[in-house]
Structures are given as C-alpha cells and as structure tokens.
Structure 1
Amino acid sequence: MKKILIVSNMYPSAKHPFYGIFVKEQVEELKKNYDMDIDLQVITDKETSKGQSILKYLRLWKRVFQTIIKQKFNIIHVHYIFPTALFVPFAKKITNAKLIGTIHGTNILFSKGIKYKIAKRIFDDLDEIVTVSDFVKEQLIKNYNVPASKVTTINCGVNRTLFHPKDKLVMKQRLGLDTKKFHVLFLGRVSLNKGIYTFLKLIQNCKDPDIEFIILGDGADKEKVKSEIANFQNVKMIDGKPKTEVPDWFNAADLFVFPTKKEAFGLVALESLSCNTPVIGTDVGGVGEVITHGENGYLVKDDDWESILTHLIELKNNPDVYNSMVEKCDMDLGENEIHVQVNKITKLYRSL
C-alpha cells in the first residue's frame, strides 16, 4: 500500500466550505483506491493579512516536517507551488519520498528575480510536476527549462454528479427569472481580473429588451459594480452561492460569459458546458482547451465586448445555431470528468 501525504494551502472547512473545494474533491476520489493511505496537511483559513498569512504558512510547514519525520511516505504531493512548496528543497534532504507538485495557476511563471530562482529550485527538486492545462505546461517548460518528461497535464475535472443538465424553463421559474427572457450569466469573483468591467460594457451596450444579465458572485469590486448597474433594468446582481446551488444558475442561464483576463484552465467554463450552457470566453491561458470556437461556444480577445455582443445577439436570434451549440456542449466532457482525471493521478502515483 502506498502512503501519500497531500499538502495544500487551500482546503474547505466548516467556515469556508468551498475554499479549495477542487482539491478536496480530488482527495475524496483518490481515497476510493484501497491500495492508498492518504494523509493531509492543509490550510483552511482564508485570512489574507500579511502577518497572519506568514504565520499560517509557518505553521503548515512545521506540521509537514513533523509528519514526514514521524511517518514514512512513498509520495508527497503539494498543491500550489508558491509559497506552499517552499519546503520541498528541505524535504528532499530528509525523505526518500517522491515529490509531486501541482501548478493550479499562472502566478508562478516568474521571468526573473528571487522568486524565479526559488521557483526554479523547487521545480528542479520535484520528481514530477502536474499542470492543469497544456498552456501552463508549455509555459513551465519554456520559462524554467523543465524536462517535458517530468510534466503531466491533469486538470481538476468536472463533477458531473453535481453539474449536469436540468430543464431550463423549470430552473428559470424556480429562481424567479422571467421565462421569456434570454439570460446571460457572469459567475465568479467580481473583480478586474475576472473581467467584470468587460461584462459591464456588454450590459451598457446591449439594447435588446429581451436579454437579461445576471451577475452572481462576491469580490473586491462588488459594491462599485452594484453602483454602476443601479440605473439599468436589464441586470440582476446575486450574492455568491454555495457550490451545490451553482448548477441551478448555469442551467437557468442561456449563455455563460467568461471574460477573464488570465486563467490557467477554466474549470468554471467546463462546469457551464456540463450543464449544456454554451460559453463565450476570453482566449487566454487554458480557456481554449475548454471552449472549441464555433462548436460549444466562442473565443474572443481580452476586453472585446463588441465581439461578445455580436455572438450573443447571433445566438439569441438564431435558435438553430444556438441549439446546435447546446448539443455540442458535452462533446469533450467524458475525458474531463473528475474521476477520469483522478485516474491519471492514480496512475502517476503507481508509476513512482
């Protein structure tokens, strides 16, 4: 039986049940393998003040070292590289465990300076590296000269038990939406990086009275956005919802707009497609690995609200085009289901 230690700076708790939920879902799938004994050392606190942030990492690293000194592990798998994996070069010296790191974002792709040197050392010391998209894999190899042979793309995977198609009319009625309207959804962090201001331009320039916009989420710019849309009748702003309720909103929406400015993969777009709701997204990072332009959605340039509006009107006014796109939403979902992706991790573990 392989003994595995999983380390993450994000993991759900009773107070924050959806903080790093994708890591927990992966762990729960891994635990279904009876030949693996899994231990966890994680951070469940979202506190972001500088002093408390430093303390929570110091406590995490202390627990990690105490654990690997007391117990013998075959594999240590760390999620998020910087700063979570700063312990890796030291762990390399005191354990024979194979070290795996999963890169979930693009924020570790430094080009120079001390952070680059530290990240380079970590990547050199890892035995295997997992990236959530081919885009991140290519950038990693290019920026850090990491051998392609030790990098594997395994995305977080969509939970299709939770995200699956439901009757759109029924969901609109259940959520109190006008069943005669074409609903366009923004779902996620209400912030500049997630493209909320591109979505605002879309709202401000759409003159079709049969289109209604929904902004669902919380974030740093929420109050500012709320004041910006105060005089618009074609938009609803909804507080962030538990993940268990998110599929209802994807199913009630006719279209999901994902105007993000940077994205390692784009799991949220995959979740929308899993509910048979087409996506218009920015062609950045790994988003193009989820959306096939003209098939299950459209890809646009950053902040190109004009193209989003053009595609939106086209889909709303052409039911045949829209329905054809809906039918293709699930064309690549099988290989992106969470259990398929976790099987890849299991295979990687067993190869070490």
Structure 2
Amino acid sequence: MNNRKLILFVVHESKKSGAPLLLLQLLKEFKAQGCFSIDILINKTGELDVAFEAIGTTYFYYPKYLLELNLKSKLLRRVLHQETSIKNHQQKLYKTLTHKRYDVIYFNSLGSQSMFTYLENYPAKKVTHIHELHAVVAGMDQVVVKSMLHNSNLLISSCKTITEFLSNTYTIDTNKLLENSVFLFKDRKKAIDNLGKPDQPSNPIFRIGGCGGVEARKGTDLFVDFAIKTIKEIPDVAFEFIWVGNDQTAMATQLTTDIKTAGLQEQIKFVGSTAHPEVHFNTLNLFFLSSREEAFGLVGLENAYCQNPLVSFDINGDLPLFINQYNSGKVIPEFEFAVFKTFILKLMKDKSYAKSLGENGKAAVVKDFNSAAQATIIQEALNKL
C-alpha cells in the first residue's frame, strides 16, 4: 500500500530564476528519495516546463496551446467567445485537481498569489515557501499576502533574514514557521567542477564580477560607480569588471553611456544573460554583491564554490552573515568605496589571504549548503502535516 503523501507543488512561473530553480532542485531530491507522490501546477509557463514535466504529472493554469496562437487568432478567440476559453479551462482544471484529493498544496513563493486565491478553498493542507523581502512584497496585494501567511499550515523561510522580515512586518504564528537554507544546486556544482581553474595569463588582470538583472535593487549602478572609481584610483593595475545578467533594461542603457563617457568600455562590460554564468565566475578574483536588498543571493554560493572571495554591503540579507560566519570575504559599510578599495589592495598584496578566503567559502558551501540536507529538513516537516 502506498502511504506517501500526494502533494501538488505550485510554481508561480516556470522561468530560470531563484524560486522556481530552487523548487526544481527540491523536487529532484524528493523524486530520488521516493518520499512523495508529486504533481505540479504551473501558473506562467517558461523554459523550465520540460524539466518539471519530467518529475511528475504537470498541469498548466493557462492552456499551453495559447502560446502557439498568433495575434490574429487570439483576437478571433476573444471576439467569438469560443468554448475553449481560459475561464472554462481553469474551471475544468479545478475539477480535475479536486478529484486528485491532494494531501498538501505547496506554493513555491509569495509570488503565487493568484494561485493561492484559486486554490484557497481546496480541502488540503497549505504550505507557502517564502523567498521575498520588503521591496518585493510591498508591491504585492497585501490582503492576499496576509491570507497566505495566516491560512497556510506551514511557512518555510529560505533564510534568517526572511524570518526576521516576516516576524517584524506581519503577525504570524512562529510555531508554524520553518527556517531552512538556500543551497548550491547539484547541476551548478557539476558545471563548476567540470571547468577546473583557468590558466593564469602572463600579465594577469584583476577581475571583479557582479550578477543579476541590471536594476536598482541589484545595485548595478553602484557596481559601475565603484568600477570607475577603482580603475581611476588604482591606475597601475589592470582591472576588468564584468556584470553577468539581463542587460536589456533602461538602467543598462544609461550605464553603458556612462561607461563610454568615462572611456572604460574595454574594462567594464555587461556580458548579458547566459546559461553558463560559471564560465565567467571561474575567471574572477573577487565577486561583488552590490545589491541594495538581497535575501541571500544564490550567486554568492556559486562564487564561493568557485573559491572567489566575496564582498558585500552590510545590507539586510544573509550573504553578509555567510561572509562573516565563514570568513569568506569582506562585509563593508553600505556604499563605502574607501573600504572596498582597501580590501581590493589587501587581496592583491596578500595572495595567501585571498586564497584562504576562497577556500573557506567553498568548504562552507560543501558542508552546510547542500541540497540533500535541506530537502530532508523540508521533507520531514511535510510528513508531519
């Protein structure tokens, strides 16, 4: 007899971003362990659809055939009120899900607001996994946020900083709050392991990297500002600053102009989005988390595993805690360039110091931030519901 819980895992968007990727890794662990019967419901489709479909029966809140329609077909459907409307699809979907009789519904993010409303009256235990901080949550419907926090049977916080944010901002039952940790994904670890360390050029360049969408929250403007100051104030060193991530933004356009005005386009570069950011990370001498707000920053773990020293502002986030606890870099006062510059000079002067920071970071990731351990914590909590 199969006594495994039947769980519906809800994905707010099937894109290669933090929360969906983290859920995907958890589901891979759960499937490997055979601990649950897994179904998946995807709100907004994306490039991870196939990966989720390989794990369990997958449903789509919006019918997938809509993606294949051209504009004319979409307009005709709207005008003719065809029976295959989205509303009819979603009503039929709800009936299908009702017949499955799930034990638990697991929402992968506070971003799953519309899905929580859709399934709020479904007779199953509810779990909400929370990855967001104030800047993101403030833009959400607060009525639904409070409903998710109050009506979920289990809340999972992905780091200490989020736990503190929830406790300070909302009235929550701390008895139903589970704090786990983000972790380095197995496929990312494997990709980094396969690279090896690059050969050092005869005239080495000190390379500093950042990552994320080019936007204010990620502090890309601060990254570029610090890059320009560093190059100008330490003119006898060959520097290269590279930013990995979506650069099709208004801020990117403005920053590109600023870089060209400074005449530094060969030393400060946006390399865009890539499926293999580790290729860039593996060449760095330092990873700079320039974010104004960041719950943790999974790229911090990737760079730590690459044995890159880390530097971060003293923001309300868990990467500064990681850096301090594991002695893997430097936490500097917010937006203080002088401290940033001093740290860079120390890294260049004392190679053994830089090496030890990198080794400390990698050892911490291997020991305390692995997917199997974190999946086990969540698995045990779900089985207790």
| Structure 2 counterparts to residues 210-249 of structure 1, below 5 A | 210-219=238-247, 220=249, 221-230=251-260, 231-232=263-264, 233-242=266-275, 245-249=276-280
1:343 to 362, 376, 381: 376
- Normalised to the residue count of structure 1, the TM-score between the two structures is 0.83
Is 1:158 the counterpart of 2:190? The answer is no
- List per-residue Cα deviations over 1:133-160 (Å, max 9, x = no partner): 1111122122222122111112331124
C-alpha RMSD of the superposition: 3.0
Q: Describe the shift of the 1:308–1:330 C-alpha distance in structure 2 as closer, same or farther (beyond 3 A).
A: same
Q: Which residue of 2 aligns with 1:277?
A: 308
1:25-46 CA distances to partner (integer Å, 9 max, x unpaired)?
A: 2222222122311111113447
Give yes or no for contact 1:11–1:24 (8 Å, CA) kept in 2.
no
Change (3 A) 1:147 1:63: farther
Distance 2:117 2:44 in 1: 24
| Number of residue pairs the alignment of both structures matches | 332
Q: 1:203 aligns with which of 220, 224, 227?
A: 227
The separation in 2 between residues aligned to 1:188 and 1:89, in whole angstroms, is 30
Contact 1:187–1:217, Cα closer than 8 Å, also in 2:
yes
Equivalent residue number for residue 37 of structure 1: 37
Equivalent of 1:81 in 110, 117, 126: 110
CA contact (8 A) 1:185 1:253 kept: yes
Q: How does 1:265-304 map to 2 (within 5 A)?
A: 265-284=296-315, 285-292=317-324, 295-304=327-336
1:124–1:146: 8 Å Cα contact kept in structure 2? yes
Mapped contact 2:224–2:268 kept (Cα < 8 A): no
Q: Counterpart amino acid of 1:39? A: D
Q: Which has the larger radius of gyration?
A: 2
Separation in 1, partners of 2:18, 2:171: 35
Structure 2 counterparts to residues 112-151 of structure 1, below 5 A: 115-151=141-177
Identical columns (%) = 18
Q: Distance in 1 between matches of 2:205 and 2:23?
A: 37
Q: Could you say which structure has the higher helix fraction?
A: 2
Aligned to 1:257: 288
Q: Aligned AA for 1:27?
A: L
| CA shift in 2, pair 1:7/1:235, >3 Å | same
Equivalence for 1:93: 121
Show structure 1 runs of 5+ residues with no match.
Answer: 47-54
Alignment of 1:11 with 2:38, yes or no, is no
What do the CA deviations read for 1:242-272 (whole angstroms, capped 9, x no partner)?
A: 0xx2222211111100110111122111111
Provide the TM-score with structure 2 as the length reference. Answer: 0.77
Instruction: Say which of 88, 109, 131 aligns to 1:104.
Output: 131
Cα deviation, residue 93, structure 1: 3.5
What is the SS of the residue equivalent to 2:300?
helix
The farther-off stretch of 154-163 and 337-346 is: 154-163
- Would you say the 8 A contact 2:241–2:268 is kept in 1? yes
Task: Provide, for residues 209-252 of structure 1, a one-character-per-residue CA deviation record: whole Å limited to 9, x for no partner.
Answer: 3222112222322222222222114223312210xx22222111
